């Protein structure tokens, strides 16, 4: 029973008791519950909320922390005020709390400030909800007041990559006698027309084919053949097979953390780089120039595990038009159950590009319990594949450097 | 909530004390018997108090009765002798004996309410909760002061209720108090026009750690929201959308899970109307994409 009904009942009960027993003095005890009831009716639940919130930063890397400061004001009412924000499990509270409860006293305005620190555990664009405030009547007499204040805030969390990036650049530039494959961006110097395709973010405005655009009412650009640059086409597997490990450290995270510096490095060196994400059917057509780096970074930073499965042979078919002359690189978690499918896909890649595709096999099993055995099994599979295969492990630059060695 | 826990036992003690006063003759005989057999004299009131305290604690701790129910049982025991025909005049200080019980019956449901609310709002810092509860109890006790003062005056003027006076219309006092309270409560409650309606959807499901919200299918009395992207993880979600029309239900759908939310309430704060949608506990109706739907 609602406790206010109890209160009302016990206001009436002594009166009834006095009538039944004839002991008039028992009726005096209606006074206490009646007094509480009358007093509680005077006050409403806390309301008139206002909130200010600030973040020490909104862009950070995995492992870094952000401080959130919240100031809450409540103007009216009496009772408990619960304030909270909801966010992704990829952000962990390391200091303070994102949920608080305060008491709004009668006749005084509540003005409180609190802060907490969040650590980014995983890359992505993690949203922090608006500030949710609930005001509860101190006797639960009335329903709660509720407000959702301010807008959602997105924290952009990039993978922890600088170490790898530095290592890549130092090792690649430091080798004497090895001429770089590409030094500048060719732009549109080639006159060999290839195709008209849809406009994509990063395409220069001068590439727009205005006539075709006007005719089909959708922005289209002219694509020209480029000469002298090697095209590297990455196939990143984002299917459930990459969900090995936990939310924070898994095969996909390892792959993305290695792939971002690699792509940036190749773009900086003038290579044409393309990307296809298996499962999401996301294609970034091969482009050159560091101007495209943000497109790759944004795409890779936001990629998650796909609920859909997509086989490598199917992905190859879907991307065959951009594959001519490219060096295909497949990044996946090679296992016994997907071995034949990957082998078939790589053979198909070879037949289409005439370049030997490279496999970057993500192996996070050594970090897991009893994972050494699986890791050994994967090594056997890589050898059985008969294509160049590189083991990609967490926090290991070797695979990236080895790959660059293969490319050159 | 240690404060509430401790207060619960005090309330049980108060209720037992009142009941102990209600059975003086019965416990007086037992006291005499104990004195004869064991040679130890235990005052009847103390013996009575110990017996009823044991009974109360057994009901509360062993039988799992809630605090209001236990106090309710004690109240029934308290009035039983009077209904059974014990003349009120024979009970010494009948009004005084009711005082602890009247405190208990006011506090018991309140403490029960506090415990229930704490369960509903889990995960808040314990130190803050305890501070809030202490403040609330302070205000609660303050609310008893006017009634307590009037009660003290009445007890004083009637020699602790032994010579009740009919001059004061005691029966009318609570009615007057309630009327005044209602009158004051109705003051300054003028409604403001609602400028916007916000649908607030809360739930817990498997969705991407960094999902995007997109509109999905539109049904007759509700619609679907798609939570797209990210790596799957069990997580709380809080989504707010401004809307013109309020649907009856919303289906939150991630690639790995779905959650059926129904309208659970509306709250107006300032010029904004918040419509709260929470997970339904009833059976989820069939949707075209679910296996139970007819082809």
pLDDT digits (tens, 9 = 90+) for A3-35: 667 777 777 877 777 777 666 777 777 888 888
Contact residues on chain B for A24, CB-CB shorter than 8 A: 164, 166, 170
Return the closest-CA partner of residue A307 out of B229, B290, B215. B229
Is the pLDDT at A57 greater than 70? The verdict is: yes
Residue B120 reports pLDDT greater than 50 = yes
Q: Can you give the pLDDT at residue A192?
A: 65
- Are A262 and A390 in contact by the 8 Å Cβ rule? The answer is no
How confident is the model at residue A93, as a pLDDT? Answer: 92
Q: What is the DSSP letter of B10?
A: H
Q: Contact A101/B129, CB-based, under 8 Å? A: yes
Give the pLDDT band (50/70/90) at residue B261. very high
Query: Mean pLDDT over all residues of chain A?
Result: 82
CB atoms within 10 A of CB A274: 22
Contact list in B for residue A13 (CB cut-off 8 A) is 75, 105
- The mean per-residue pLDDT over the stretch A178-197 comes to 52
Q: Parallel, antiparallel, or unpaired: how do β-strands A220-224 and A193-198 relate?
A: antiparallel
The average pLDDT across B196-224 equals 87
Choose from B147, B229, B253 for mutation: most chain A CBs within 10 A: B147
Contact (CB<8Å) A79/B136: yes
- Who contacts A77 (Cβ-Cβ below 8 Å, separation ≥6)? A43, A44, A45, A46, A47, A48, A104, A135, A137, A145
Instruction: Give mean pLDDT, residues A182-188.
Output: 37
**How far is the alpha carbon of B92 from chain A, nearest alpha carbon, in Å?**
12
Q: Where are the domains of chain B?
A: 2-186, 196-279
Is the pLDDT confidence value at A332 over 90? yes
Compute the nearest-CA separation of A310 from chain B (Å): 15
Choose among A34, A132, A138: nearest Cβ to B177.
A34
Residue B63: the pLDDT is 84
pLDDT score recorded for residue B162: 67
- From CA B239, how far away is CA B119, in angstroms rounded? 24
Q: What is the pLDDT of residues A134-180, one digit of tens each?
A: 998 888 777 788 899 998 899 988 887 654 445 444 444 433 333 34
* pLDDT score of A183: 34
Position B256 pLDDT exceeds 80:
yes
Provide the percentage of residues in chain A whose pLDDT is more than 90: 29
Query: Is A138 close to B136, i.e. CB distance below 8 A?
Result: yes
Q: What is the pLDDT of residue A399?
A: 61
- Asked if A38 and B200 come within 8 Å (Cβ–Cβ), the reply is no
| Angle subtended at Cα A265 by Cα A264 and Cα A266, rounded to the nearest 5 degrees | 95
Contact state of B88 with A304 under an 8 Å Cβ cutoff = no
What is the per-residue pLDDT for B89? 59
User: Is the four-CA dihedral A285, A290, A292, A294 of positive or negative sign?
Assistant: positive
To the nearest 10 degrees (0 to 180), the angle between helices B67-83 and B2-22 is: 10
Residue B289 or B165, more confident? B165
> What interface predicted TM-score (ipTM) does this complex get?
0.77
Per-residue confidence (pLDDT) for residue B289, from 0 to 100: 46
With a cut of 90, say whether residue B4 has pLDDT above it.
Answer: no
Classify A177 in phi/psi space as left (phi over 0), alpha (psi -120 to 50) or beta. Answer: left
More confident site: A273 or B161:
A273
Q: Is the pLDDT of residue A257 over 90?
A: no
Q: What is the pLDDT of residues B36-94, one digit of tens each?
A: 888 888 787 788 888 888 988 998 888 888 888 898 888 888 877 776 666 665 666 66
Would you state the pLDDT for residue B2?
73
Contact A148 B144 (CB under 8 A): no
- pLDDT over 50 at B184, yes or no: yes
Q: At what angle do helices A31-42 and B172-186 cross, to 10 degrees?
A: 10
Distances (CA, A) of B61 to A83, A304, B57, B65, B109: 34, 51, 6, 7, 17
Using alpha carbons, select from B83, B107, B90 the residue that is nearest to residue B14. Answer: B107
Q: Which residue did the predictor score with more confidence, B139 or A396?
A: B139
Looking up tokens 């997105």 gives A154
Residue B183 confidence (pLDDT): 67
Q: What pLDDT sits at residue B226? A: 92
pLDDT for B174 equals 67
Average pLDDT over residues B177-194: 67
Q: Which of the pair, A306 or B169, is modelled with greater confidence?
A: A306
List, for residues A120-134, the tens digit of each pLDDT value.
988 888 989 999 999
Q: Please, what's the b/e burial string for A367-384 (b: 16 or more CB within 10 A of its CB; e: otherwise)?
A: beeebeebbeebeebbee
Q: Which of A15, A80, A126 sits opposite B136 (nearest CB)?
A: A80
Distance, in Å, from the CA atom of B80 to the CA atom of A94, rounded to the nearest integer, reads 58
């Amino acid at each position: 029973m609602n406790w206010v009904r109890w209160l009302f009942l016990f206001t009436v009960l002594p009166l009834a008791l006095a009538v039944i027993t004839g002991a008039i003095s028992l009726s005096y005890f209606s006074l206490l519950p009646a007094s509480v009831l009358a007093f509680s009716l005077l006050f409403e639940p806390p309301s008139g909320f206002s909130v200010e919130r600030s973040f020490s930063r909104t862009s950070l890397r995995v492992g870094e922390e952000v401080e959130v400061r919240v100031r809450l004001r409540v103007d009216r009412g009496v009772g408990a005020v619960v304030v909270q924000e909801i966010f992704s499990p990829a952000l962990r509270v390391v200091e303070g709390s994102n949920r608080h409860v305060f008491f709004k006293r009668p006749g005084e305005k509540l003005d409180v400030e609190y802060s907490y620190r969040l650590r980014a555990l995983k890359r992505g664009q993690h949203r922090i909800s608006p500030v949710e405030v609930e005001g509860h009547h101190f006797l639960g007499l009335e329903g709660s007041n509720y407000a959702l204040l301010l807008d959602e805030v997105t924290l952009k969390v990039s993978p922890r990559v600088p170490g790898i990036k530095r290592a890549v650049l130092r090792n690649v530039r430091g080798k004497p006698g090895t001429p770089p494959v590409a030094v500048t961006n060719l732009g549109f110097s080639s006159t060999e027309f290839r195709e008209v395709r849809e406009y994509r973010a990063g395409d220069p405005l001068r590439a727009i084919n205005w006539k075709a655009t006007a005719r089909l009412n959708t922005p289209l650009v002219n694509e020209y053949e480029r000469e002298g640059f090697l095209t590297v086409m990455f196939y990143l597997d984002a299917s459930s097979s990459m969900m090995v490990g936990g939310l924070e450290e898994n095969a996909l995270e390892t792959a993305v953390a290695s792939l971002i510096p690699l792509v940036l490095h190749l773009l900086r060196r003038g290579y044409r780089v393309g990307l296809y994400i298996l499962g999401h059917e996301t294609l970034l057509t091969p482009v050159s120039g560091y101007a495209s780096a943000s497109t790759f970074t944004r795409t890779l930073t936001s990629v998650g595990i796909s609920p859909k499965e997509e086989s490598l042979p199917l992905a190859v078919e879907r991307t065959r038009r951009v594959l001519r002359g490219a060096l295909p690189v497949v990044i996946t978690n090679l296992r016994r159950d997907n071995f034949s499918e990957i082998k078939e896909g790589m053979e198909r890649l070879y037949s289409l590009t005439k370049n030997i595709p490279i496999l970057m096999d993500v192996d996070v099993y050594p970090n897991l319990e009893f994972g050494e055995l699986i890791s050994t099994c994967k090594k056997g599979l890589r050898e059985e594949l008969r294509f160049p295969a590189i083991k990609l492990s967490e926090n290991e630059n070797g695979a990236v450097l080895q790959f660059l060695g293969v490319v050159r | 909530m240690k404060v509430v826990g401790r207060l619960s036992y005090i309330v049980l003690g108060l209720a037992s004390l009142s009941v102990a006063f209600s059975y003086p003759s019965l416990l007086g005989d037992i006291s005499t018997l104990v004195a004869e057999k064991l040679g130890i004299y235990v005052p009847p009131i103390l013996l009575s108090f110990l017996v009823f305290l044991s009974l109360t604690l057994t009901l509360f701790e062993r039988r799992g009765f809630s605090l209001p129910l236990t106090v309710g049982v004690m109240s029934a025991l308290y009035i039983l002798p009077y209904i059974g025909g014990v003349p009120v005049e024979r009970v010494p200080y009948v009004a005084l004996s009711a005082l602890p019980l009247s405190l208990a019956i006011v506090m018991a449901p309140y403490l029960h309410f506090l415990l229930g609310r704490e369960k509903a709002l889990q995960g808040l810092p314990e130190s803050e909760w305890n501070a809030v509860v202490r403040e609330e109890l302070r205000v609660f006790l303050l609310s008893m002061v006017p009634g307590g003062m009037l009660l003290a005056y009445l007890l004083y003027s009637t020699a602790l209720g032994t010579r009740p006076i009919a001059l004061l219309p005691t029966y009318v006092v609570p009615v007057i108090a309630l009327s005044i309270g209602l009158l004051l409560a109705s003051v300054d409650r003028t409604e403001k026009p609602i400028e916007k309606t916000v649908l607030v959807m809360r739930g817990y499901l498997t969705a991407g750690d960094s999902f995007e919200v997109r509109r999905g299918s539109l049904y007759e009395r509700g619609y679907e929201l798609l939570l797209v992207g990210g790596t799957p993880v069990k997580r709380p979600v809080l989504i707010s959308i401004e809307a013109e029309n309020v649907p009856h239900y919303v289906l939150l759908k991630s690639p790995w899970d779905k959650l059926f939310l129904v309208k659970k309430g509306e709250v107006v704060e300032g010029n904004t109307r918040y419509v709260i949608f929470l997970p339904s506990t009833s059976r989820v109706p069939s949707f075209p994409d679910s296996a139970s739907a007819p082809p």
